Amino acid sequence: MTAFAELRATEYAYLDEQGQVYLDHTGAGLPARRQLDAHAERIRYGCYGNPHSENPTSLASSHLVDQTRAAILDHFNADPAEYAVVFTPNATGACRLVGEAFPFGKRSRLVLPLDNHNSVNGLREYARAGGAQTIYVPFSGPDLRISDDAIRQVLSEGRSRRSGGRGRSSAMGLFAYPAQSNFTGVHHPLAWIATAQHLGYRVLLDAAAYVPTNRLDLSTVHPDFVTVSWYKVFGYPTGLGALIARRAALAELRRPWFSGGTIHVVSAQGDWHKMADDETAFEDGTLNFLSIPDIAEGLRWLSEVGLDAVHEHVAGLTARLLTGAAALTHTNGEPLVRVYGPTDGDRRGGTVTLNVLDPEGAIVDERAVSKDSAARSISLRTGCFCNPGAGEAAFSISRRLLAGAVRRTTGTIDDYLQRLGLPSGGAVRVSFGLSSSPGDVDAFLGFIVDTYRDRPRTDTGLTPRERC
């Protein structure tokens, strides 16, 4: 039995005990049983108070919170003198902290590759409010990667307009991108960080989909802001993420308000306050002090299993899926599956997005796949996965068509899709993690063959979509 098969049979035994085929690790990771036991043990036998004071139970909480900050920095090999950890509810909360406090102005820009999660796309509303321009960098080809040249060109254009091409500017704006696409699994180059910084940008690296199965070493790359959701890394706890930020970049942010926990001193009648001068200035109210130590527990677990081993395990499962899917055909020889993005294992993670095709080559509505797979206890994702830029590119929708559809739509998703001429509004996403097994891959491929091979197009009688 391999080490991962053994873990599946013990720490993750609940999957097979319940007959679950879990294929949504980019949605959420799954917890090992020992993580849950450690949580129960700690709160059953300890006594923890609100961390904002000096009493013994408060200090016990503060101690564990501080230990967890240190464990996070250690996990990313980050120098505590350079980086700080801000606890947030999730990666989205980390993006919002940056967006609402970033010094966007008329002369700065927000640069976004088209392959971004909506929690990063949404930064453009803060940029707009500050008078800054948002520029998207398009995909470079059918692999749904973005070329280094395209990135460099867009970042440099702004530089020459702003500074006449002379010298370095320290406030070009913000460049934000995902280390791993949550749509295609593509790994975008970490070298873009230094490129953008050299051209005067602060860089937000959305690491939410990357860090569960890849090592991010903050001693070799130095993004200004890194966003993470812990439940995606090891399943538990939910409701906690982090903004891991360079202290110098954090010092440039201007919070739009103060609150309990964030201030050094405040006067009510004097209309004066002074923010805390460290990461706590970004942590509103009382921290989730009973769950934050579970992050340290999760990191311990990940290091025991070995992140590099997890990476290899997931790469193997991804290759098994891609090879298996490429071999699936209808009896007439037509392919059963269309994969979006790279179809090999090169520079990618364990997220694969595809559509099922009928014998005439038409896309099977992803809502039907969602219903059919659910009936087989398969958990996968359908839709556009909050990444409209990648979806638009996958379905080859032009900007002109989009502009027309946006102008005329009544506002429902179905109406919008009809105006785009799309038979199906989304795709099917399968993603792997620590607890996944080759059996999960085979169960998915078997489901596709059993359900769709040679099946002609049918009227699925599906209900309207409610959200993208």
Q: Which residues bind ligand PLP (CB under 6 A)?
A: 26, 90-92, 117, 119, 178, 182, 206, 208-209, 229
Q: How many residues does the chain have?
A: 468
Structure tokens at 354: 């595809």
Residue 148, CA distances (Å) to 36, 57, 138 in order:
43, 52, 11
CA–CA separation, 294 and 41 (whole Å): 11
User: 427 or 445: whose CB is closer to ligand PLP?
Assistant: 427
Tell me the closest approach of the beta carbon of residue 221 to ligand PLP, in angstroms.
Answer: 17
Strands 133-137 and 109-113: parallel
**Minimum distance, C-beta of residue 390 to ligand PLP, in the bound complex (Å):** 10
Could you give phi then psi for residue 320, rounded to 5 degrees? Answer: -60, -40
Q: Please, which residue, 65 or 242, has the CB nearer to ligand PLP?
A: 242
Q: How far apart are CA 201 and CA 404, in angstroms?
A: 33
Contact 403, 392 (CB under 8 A): no
Q: Taking the complex as a whole, how short is the minimal distance between the CB of residue 231 and ligand PLP, in angstroms?
A: 7
Beta carbons within 10 angstroms of residue 374's beta carbon:
12
Other CB atoms within a 10 A radius of the CB of residue 423 amount to 12
Burial class (CB in 10 A: 0-12, 13-18, 19+), 37: exposed
Which is closer to ligand PLP, CB of 84 or CB of 208?
208
Find the catalytic residue in 95, 384, 386, 468.
386
Strands 21-22 and 378-379: what pairing?
A: parallel
Who contacts 58 (Cβ-Cβ below 8 Å, separation ≥6)? 49, 50, 51, 52
- Our CB check for ligand PLP shows the closer of 90 and 213 to be 90
Are 225 and 98 within 8 A, CB to CB? yes
Q: Which residues contact 96 (CB under 8 A, 6 or more apart)?
A: 119, 122
* Closest to ligand PLP by CB, 26 or 435: 26
Token readout for 198 is: 């050299």
Q: Which is nearer to ligand PLP, 62 or 387 (CB)?
A: 387
Find where tokens 């991804």 sit. 318
Closest separation in Å from C-beta 238 to ligand PLP: 9
In angstroms, give the least distance from the CB of 408 to ligand PLP. Answer: 30
Give me the residues paired with residue 133 across strands.
109
Cβ count within 10 A of residue 262: 18
What is the C-alpha separation between 423 and 414, in angstroms, rounded? 10
Backbone Cα Rg of the chain: 23
What minimum distance in Å lies between the beta carbon of 308 and ligand PLP? 21
Looking at the Cβ atoms of 91 and 199, the one nearer to ligand PLP is 91
- Tell the smallest beta-carbon distance from residue 357 to ligand PLP (Å): 26
Residues 6+ apart with CB under 8 A from 257: none
Rounded to a whole number of angstroms, the minimum distance from the CB of residue 307 to ligand PLP is 18
Confirm if 64 and 88 have CB atoms less than 8 A apart.
Answer: no
Tell how far CA 305 is from the center of its chain.
22
Catalytic-residue membership of 386: yes
Q: How far apart are CA 51 and CA 309, in angstroms?
A: 36
Cβ closest to ligand PLP, residue 92 vs residue 184: 92
Least separation in angstroms between residue 40's CB and ligand PLP is 24
Q: With respect to ligand PLP, which residue has the nearer C-beta, 117 or 246?
A: 117
- For the annotated catalytic residues, the residue numbers are 386
